Amino acid sequence: MIVAGFWFVSGLGAAAADGSKPGTAASAEIYRFAAGDLEAVFRTAAGGIQLESIEDARTRTALAVKGAPLFSLHMRRVSNGEERMLTASDGWGKTSAGSSRGGFVFEWAAFPEGELAGLTVRATARLDAPESAIRWALDVENRSADWSVRRCVFPQLDLAETSEDGALLFPRGPGEVQRGAWRREFHYRGNYPSGWCSMQFLAAYREGASPTGLYVGLHDPWGSTKHLDFLSTPKSRTVRLSVDVPAADMNQAGNDFRSSGEVVWRLLRGDWYDAARIYRSWARKEARWWPSLGPEGRADTPLWMRELSAWVMTGGAPEECLPAVKAFRAALGLPVGFHWYRWHQIPFDNDYPHYFPTKTGFAQGVGELQRAGVCVMPYINGRLWDSKDGGAEDLEFSRVALGAATKKEDGQPFLEQYGSKETNGEPVSLAVMCPATKLWKDRVRDIVLRLQRDEGTLGVYIDQIAAAAPALCMDKDHGHPLGGGRWWTQGYWDLLDAIRVAMPPGRVLTSECNAESFVRWFDGYLTWHWQYPGQVPAFPAIYGGAVQMFGRAYRGGPTQDLAMRMKAGQQLVFGEQIGWFDPKQAVEPQNLEFLRKVIQVRWNHRRYFYAGEMSRPPRLSGDVPQVRADWQWSGEWPVTTDAVLTGAWRLPAENRVLLLFANVSDSAVKARCVLDLEEYGLTQSQVRRVSSLDGVKSSDELFAVERLAEPIEFAAKSVAAWELTP
Ligand SMILES: [Zn+2]
**Contact, 195 vs 551, CB < 8 A?**
no
Instruction: Give yes or no for residue 9 having a pLDDT over 50.
Output: no
DSSP string, 575-640: TPBEEEEPHHHHTSHHHHHHHHHHHHHHHHTHHHHHHSEEEPPPEEES---EEEEE--SSSS-EEE
Instruction: Give yes or no for residue 196 having a pLDDT over 90.
Output: yes
Q: pLDDT band for position 27 (50/70/90)?
A: low
**If you measure from the C-alpha of residue 83 to the centroid of ligand 1, how many angstroms do you get, rounded to a whole number?**
24
DSSP string, 390-415: BTTB-SSIIIIIGGGB-B-TTSPBPE
**If you measure from the C-alpha of residue 413 to the centroid of ligand 1, how many angstroms do you get, rounded to a whole number?**
10
Instruction: Tell me, yes or no, whether 271 and 327 share the same domain.
Output: no
Find all residues with CB under 8 Å of 466, minimum gap 6, and list them.
193, 195, 511, 512, 513, 514, 515, 518, 522, 525
Instruction: Tell me, yes or no, whether 299 and 271 share the same domain.
Output: no
Q: Could you give the CA distance from residue 105 to residue 137 in angstroms, rounded to a whole number?
A: 10
Instruction: Tell me, yes or no, whether 331 and 279 share the same domain.
Output: no
Q: Could you give the CA distance from residue 151 to residue 484 in angstroms, rounded to a whole number?
A: 8
Q: Could you give the CA distance from residue 85 to residue 603 in angstroms, rounded to a whole number?
A: 56
Residues 553, 556, 561, CA angle at the centre, nearest 5°? Answer: 95
User: Would 606 be classed as within a structural domain?
Assistant: no
The predicted structure's pLDDT at residue 22: 41
Q: Could you give the CA distance from residue 621 to residue 618 in angstroms, rounded to a whole number?
A: 10
**Contact, 7 vs 31, CB < 8 A?**
yes
**If you measure from the C-alpha of residue 517 to the centroid of ligand 1, how many angstroms do you get, rounded to a whole number?**
18
Given 253, 286, 319, the domain boundary residue is 286
Helices vs strands, H then E, count in the chain? 11, 46
- Nearest alpha-carbon partner for 585 in 226, 321, 328: 328
Instruction: Give yes or no for residue 114 having a pLDDT over 90.
Output: no
Residue of 663 and 115 predicted with greater confidence? 663
**If you measure from the C-alpha of residue 464 to the centroid of ligand 1, how many angstroms do you get, rounded to a whole number?**
17
Phi-psi region at 249: left, alpha or beta (left = phi > 0; alpha = psi -120 to 50): left
Strands 119-128 and 133-142: antiparallel
Instruction: Give yes or no for residue 702 having a pLDDT over 80.
Output: yes
User: Would 334 be classed as within a structural domain?
Assistant: yes
User: Would 376 be classed as within a structural domain?
Assistant: yes
Q: Could you give the CA distance from residue 172 to residue 327 in angstroms, rounded to a whole number?
A: 35
- Could you count the other beta carbons within 10 Å of the beta carbon of residue 78? 17
**Contact, 369 vs 325, CB < 8 A?**
yes
Q: Which residues hold their Cβ within 5 A of ligand 1, which is an ion? A: 434, 473, 475, 478
Strands 638-642 and 626-630: antiparallel
Q: What is the mean pLDDT of the chain?
A: 95
**If you measure from the C-alpha of residue 469 to the centroid of ligand 1, how many angstroms do you get, rounded to a whole number?**
14
Instruction: Tell me, yes or no, whether 164 and 224 share the same domain.
Output: yes
Q: Which residue type, as a one-letter code, is found at position 694? A: D
Q: Could you give the CA distance from residue 641 to residue 241 in angstroms, rounded to a whole number?
A: 27
Q: Could you give the CA distance from residue 71 to residue 83 in angstroms, rounded to a whole number?
A: 17
Instruction: Tell me, yes or no, whether 506 and 631 share the same domain.
Output: no
Instruction: Tell me, yes or no, whether 410 and 278 share the same domain.
Output: no
Q: Give 247-298 pLDDT, tens digit per residue.
A: 999 999 999 999 999 999 999 999 999 999 999 999 999 999 999 999 999 9
The sign of the dihedral angle between the CA atoms of 140, 143, 144, 147 is: positive
Strand spans (E) along 57-132:
61-65, 72-77, 83-87, 94-100, 103-109, 119-128
**If you measure from the C-alpha of residue 492 to the centroid of ligand 1, how many angstroms do you get, rounded to a whole number?**
12
Percent of the chain, pLDDT > 90? 93
**If you measure from the C-alpha of residue 637 to the centroid of ligand 1, how many angstroms do you get, rounded to a whole number?**
37
Instruction: Tell me, yes or no, whether 65 and 38 share the same domain.
Output: yes
| Residue 345 exposure: Cα atoms within 13 Å on the Cβ side | 9
Q: Give 64-77 pLDDT, tens digit per residue.
A: 999 999 999 999 99
Given 260, 286, 312, the domain boundary residue is 286
**If you measure from the C-alpha of residue 214 to the centroid of ligand 1, how many angstroms do you get, rounded to a whole number?**
37
Instruction: Give yes or no for residue 11 having a pLDDT over 80.
Output: no
- Please state whether the peptide bond connecting residue 353 to the residue before it is cis, i.e. omega within 30 degrees of 0: yes
Instruction: Give yes or no for residue 541 having a pLDDT over 70.
Output: yes
**Contact, 260 vs 220, CB < 8 A?**
yes
Q: Could you give the CA distance from residue 530 to residue 568 in angstroms, rounded to a whole number?
A: 12
Instruction: Give yes or no for residue 16 having a pLDDT over 50.
Output: no
**Contact, 499 vs 522, CB < 8 A?**
no
Q: Could you give the CA distance from residue 368 to residue 322 in angstroms, rounded to a whole number?
A: 9
The DSSP output letter for 538 is: H
Q: Could you give the CA distance from residue 172 to residue 190 in angstroms, rounded to a whole number?
A: 7
**If you measure from the C-alpha of residue 459 to the centroid of ligand 1, how many angstroms do you get, rounded to a whole number?**
28
**If you measure from the C-alpha of residue 686 to the centroid of ligand 1, how many angstroms do you get, rounded to a whole number?**
60
Q: Is 471 helix (H, G, I), strand (E, B) or coil?
A: coil
**If you measure from the C-alpha of residue 246 to the centroid of ligand 1, how many angstroms do you get, rounded to a whole number?**
15
The DSSP output letter for 654 is: G
Instruction: Give yes or no for residue 13 having a pLDDT over 50.
Output: no
Q: Give 125-160 pLDDT, tens digit per residue.
A: 999 999 999 999 999 999 999 999 999 999 999 999
Helices (H), 335-486: 362-371, 438-453
Instruction: Tell me, yes or no, whether 273 and 382 share the same domain.
Output: no
Instruction: Tell me, yes or no, whether 222 and 134 share the same domain.
Output: yes
- Could you count the other beta carbons within 10 Å of the beta carbon of residue 302? 18
The DSSP output letter for 470 is: P
**If you measure from the C-alpha of residue 408 to the centroid of ligand 1, how many angstroms do you get, rounded to a whole number?**
10
Alpha-carbon distances of 645 from 568, 617, 642, 661, rounded to whole Å: 10, 9, 6, 6
**If you measure from the C-alpha of residue 476 to the centroid of ligand 1, how many angstroms do you get, rounded to a whole number?**
7
Alpha-carbon distances of 565 from 124, 337, 454, 632, 716, rounded to whole Å: 50, 19, 38, 14, 11
Number of domains the chain is built from: 3
**If you measure from the C-alpha of residue 365 to the centroid of ligand 1, how many angstroms do you get, rounded to a whole number?**
38
What CATH number is given to the structural domain containing 218?
2.70.98.60
Q: Give 436-459 pLDDT, tens digit per residue.
A: 999 999 999 999 999 999 999 999
Q: pLDDT band for position 462 (50/70/90)?
A: very high
Enclosing domain of residue 314? 293-526
The DSSP output letter for 294 is: E
Q: What is the mean pLDDT of residues 663-686?
A: 94
User: Would 424 be classed as within a structural domain?
Assistant: yes
Q: Could you give the CA distance from residue 610 to residue 548 in angstroms, rounded to a whole number?
A: 7
The predicted structure's pLDDT at residue 18: 35
Instruction: Tell me, yes or no, whether 124 and 251 share the same domain.
Output: yes
Beta bridge partners of 229: 189, 242
Q: Could you give the CA distance from residue 15 to residue 547 in angstroms, rounded to a whole number?
A: 53
Alpha-carbon distances of 245 from 73, 107, 191, 478, rounded to whole Å: 10, 20, 10, 21
Helix, strand, coil percentages in the chain from 3-state DSSP, rounded to 5: 25, 40, 40
Q: Could you give the CA distance from residue 624 to residue 667 in angstroms, rounded to a whole number?
A: 11
**If you measure from the C-alpha of residue 164 to the centroid of ligand 1, how many angstroms do you get, rounded to a whole number?**
46
- Please state whether the peptide bond connecting residue 533 to the residue before it is cis, i.e. omega within 30 degrees of 0: no
The DSSP output letter for 304 is: H
- Please state whether the peptide bond connecting residue 580 to the residue before it is cis, i.e. omega within 30 degrees of 0: yes
Q: What is the mean pLDDT of residues 613-634?
A: 96
Q: Is 652 helix (H, G, I), strand (E, B) or coil?
A: helix
Q: Is 203 helix (H, G, I), strand (E, B) or coil?
A: strand
What CATH number is given to the structural domain containing 701?
2.60.40
User: Would 583 be classed as within a structural domain?
Assistant: no
Q: Could you give the CA distance from residue 185 to residue 163 in angstroms, rounded to a whole number?
A: 17
User: Would 594 be classed as within a structural domain?
Assistant: no
Q: What length is written for the chain?
A: 726
The DSSP output letter for 521 is: G
Beta bridge partners of 462: 380, 511
Instruction: Tell me, yes or no, whether 485 and 514 share the same domain.
Output: yes
Given 264, 286, 308, the domain boundary residue is 286
User: Would 620 be classed as within a structural domain?
Assistant: yes
**Contact, 436 vs 472, CB < 8 A?**
no
Q: Could you give the CA distance from residue 576 to residue 581 in angstroms, rounded to a whole number?
A: 14
Burial code (b: 16+ CB inside 10 Å, e: under 16) for 393-429 equals eeeebeeebeebbbbeeeeebbbbeeebebeeeeebb
The sign of the dihedral angle between the CA atoms of 138, 144, 149, 153 is: negative
**If you measure from the C-alpha of residue 472 to the centroid of ligand 1, how many angstroms do you get, rounded to a whole number?**
8
Instruction: Tell me, yes or no, whether 412 and 264 share the same domain.
Output: no
**If you measure from the C-alpha of residue 292 to the centroid of ligand 1, how many angstroms do you get, rounded to a whole number?**
30
**If you measure from the C-alpha of residue 411 to the centroid of ligand 1, how many angstroms do you get, rounded to a whole number?**
11
User: Would 277 be classed as within a structural domain?
Assistant: yes
**Contact, 523 vs 506, CB < 8 A?**
no
Instruction: Give yes or no for residue 482 having a pLDDT over 90.
Output: yes
> Phi first, then psi: what are they for 488, rounded to 5°?
-65, -50
The sign of the dihedral angle between the CA atoms of 703, 704, 709, 710 is: negative
**If you measure from the C-alpha of residue 479 to the centroid of ligand 1, how many angstroms do you get, rounded to a whole number?**
7
**If you measure from the C-alpha of residue 450 to the centroid of ligand 1, how many angstroms do you get, rounded to a whole number?**
26
What CATH number is given to the structural domain containing 440?
3.20.20.70
**If you measure from the C-alpha of residue 614 to the centroid of ligand 1, how many angstroms do you get, rounded to a whole number?**
38
**If you measure from the C-alpha of residue 488 to the centroid of ligand 1, how many angstroms do you get, rounded to a whole number?**
8
The DSSP output letter for 421 is: B
Percent of the chain, pLDDT > 70? 96
- Nearest alpha-carbon partner for 649 in 568, 526, 567, 540: 540
Q: Could you give the CA distance from residue 328 to residue 337 in angstroms, rounded to a whole number?
A: 11
